[in-house]
Amino acid sequence: MKGIYFDGKDAVYRENLPMPSPSKDESLIRIFYAGICNTDREVLKGYRPDFRGVMGHEFVGVVEESSDPYWTGRRVVGELNAGCGHCIYCRTGREKHCLERKVIGMDGKDGCFGEYMTLATHLLHEVPSGLALTDALMTEPLAAALEIPQQVHIGPDMAVAIIGDGRLAYLIASVLRLSGADLTIIGKHSEKLQKFAEMGKTMLPEERQEAETFELVVEASGSPTGLELASGLVRKQGMIVLKSTYAGTVNVDMSRLVVNEVTIKGSRCGPFEPALRLLEKGLVKLHPTEFYELGDWKPAFASKAMKAGFLIYPDV
Ligand SMILES: [Zn+2]
Ligand SMILES: [Zn+2]
């Protein structure tokens, strides 16, 4: 099978990958489309040094074989964290924090930048019939954005800043906008910020007035300097939600956070069903995805489009 394999150093396009075979609790999925996430780019920079395998975790596909016959022939998206089923986290409904979890395309499990993939059947979600598959491809990143209102109460009277002007920041803005909060998007690229114009106020970091502070700051810049910027924006006793994952560590003045009694909250994967619901109802504005062939992974990864991905098997 064709796919993009991470060999520990770099991505390699291969046409001789073994065909995956589902275990007794899994389904075999033929991939239509796969999306490139910033996390995949971080894998190439060393974010997951121990991983070897097919990359990618955002996909839409069709189930060809399944442990549960219900799923056969259905169009699906799927969650990326497969838990062991018996540790303290799995037993308390927190499978994504499982001590022995496998994460597709990142940790112990082949991902979706290939023609086929296997996934634990209980991680599948059906794509509603009215939803375009190219839109359904946004389910996973949108679910990650929806994790924020799941963790933090966001009221319409709150001043909220989002740091970042990329795809994740855009989805976060789309979701937080629905709360009615007073949104400000802070990014480094004025041309990218234009896309956020209808979501809220936009500004470059240097345009901000000293007195302008925010009850909640969401760091989604994908840059290690984002947290330092966030700690200068957040109000005393406010909260910073961290969304970016990257290789390496960050340097931050922690005493400022201590003295100001700032809460820092990490935020990762979120709920799929509400994400599918928002997409189906058209409540989230999406940018068209720029699609590439698997063999063209280099230009695909380098793409400056709001969203790039792979067209693996045309949806007919
Ligand atoms: Zn992702
Ligand atoms: Zn577990």
Please check whether residues 162 and 78 belong to one and the same domain: no
Q: Which whole number is the average pLDDT over 41-63?
A: 94
Q: In this structure, which ligand is nearest to the CA of 87?
A: 2
Please check whether residues 116 and 195 belong to one and the same domain: no
- Please write the tens of the pLDDT for every residue from 280-312: 999 998 888 999 999 999 999 999 888 999 999
Domain count, the chain: 2
Please check whether residues 87 and 60 belong to one and the same domain: yes
Please check whether residues 35 and 104 belong to one and the same domain: yes
Structural domain contains residue 272: no
The band of 245, judged by pLDDT with boundaries at 50, 70 and 90, is: confident
Please check whether residues 10 and 130 belong to one and the same domain: yes
Please check whether residues 21 and 126 belong to one and the same domain: yes
The band of 90, judged by pLDDT with boundaries at 50, 70 and 90, is: very high
Q: In this structure, which ligand is nearest to the CA of 98?
A: 2
Structural domain contains residue 131: yes
What pLDDT score does 251 carry?
A: 86
The CATH number of the domain holding residue 58 is 3.90.180.10
Structural domain contains residue 125: yes
Query: Which has more confidence, 208 or 149?
Result: 149
Range of the domain at 62: 3-138+286-311
* Position 38 pLDDT exceeds 90: no
Structural domain contains residue 276: no
Q: What value, to the nearest 5°, has the Cα angle with vertex 274 and ends 285 and 240?
A: 75
Please check whether residues 35 and 125 belong to one and the same domain: yes
Please check whether residues 127 and 170 belong to one and the same domain: no
Q: In this structure, which ligand is nearest to the CA of 101?
A: 2
Q: How far is CA 173 from CA 25, 208, 217, 249, in A?
A: 37, 19, 12, 26
- The H or E element containing residue 98 is none
What pLDDT score does 180 carry?
A: 95
Main-chain dihedrals φ then ψ at residue 267, nearest 5 degrees? -150, 125
Partners of 265 in beta bridges: 241
- CA-CA distance, 152 to 248, in Å (whole number)? 27
Sign of CA dihedral 173, 130, 74, 20: negative
The CATH number of the domain holding residue 240 is 3.40.50.720
What pLDDT score does 306 carry?
A: 86
Please check whether residues 133 and 53 belong to one and the same domain: yes
What is the Å distance from ligand 2's center to 206 Cα?
45
pLDDT > 90 fraction of the chain, expressed in percent and rounded:
87
Please check whether residues 106 and 197 belong to one and the same domain: no
Structural domain contains residue 280: no
Orientation angle between helical segments 139-151 and 167-177, nearest 10 degrees = 50
What pLDDT score does 28 carry?
A: 98
Q: Which whole number is the average pLDDT over 243-268?
A: 90
What is the Å distance from ligand 1's center to 73 Cα?
25
Structural domain contains residue 215: yes
Please check whether residues 105 and 186 belong to one and the same domain: no
CB-proximal residues (5 Å) to ion ligand 1: 37
* Position 211 pLDDT exceeds 90: no
Structural domain contains residue 104: yes
* Position 154 pLDDT exceeds 70: yes
pTM of the model: 0.91
Main-chain dihedrals φ then ψ at residue 117, nearest 5 degrees? -150, 150
Q: Which whole number is the average pLDDT over 80-92?
A: 95
Q: In this structure, which ligand is nearest to the CA of 166?
A: 1
Please check whether residues 197 and 130 belong to one and the same domain: no
Q: Which whole number is the average pLDDT over 105-110?
A: 96
* Position 163 pLDDT exceeds 80: yes
Contact yes or no for 183/155 (Cβ under 8 A) = no
Structural domain contains residue 203: yes
Burial 10-45 (b: 16+ CB within 10 A, else e): ebebbeebeebebeebbbbbebbbbbbbbbbbbbbe
Q: In this structure, which ligand is nearest to the CA of 105?
A: 1
Mean residue pLDDT across the chain:
94
* Position 316 pLDDT exceeds 70: no
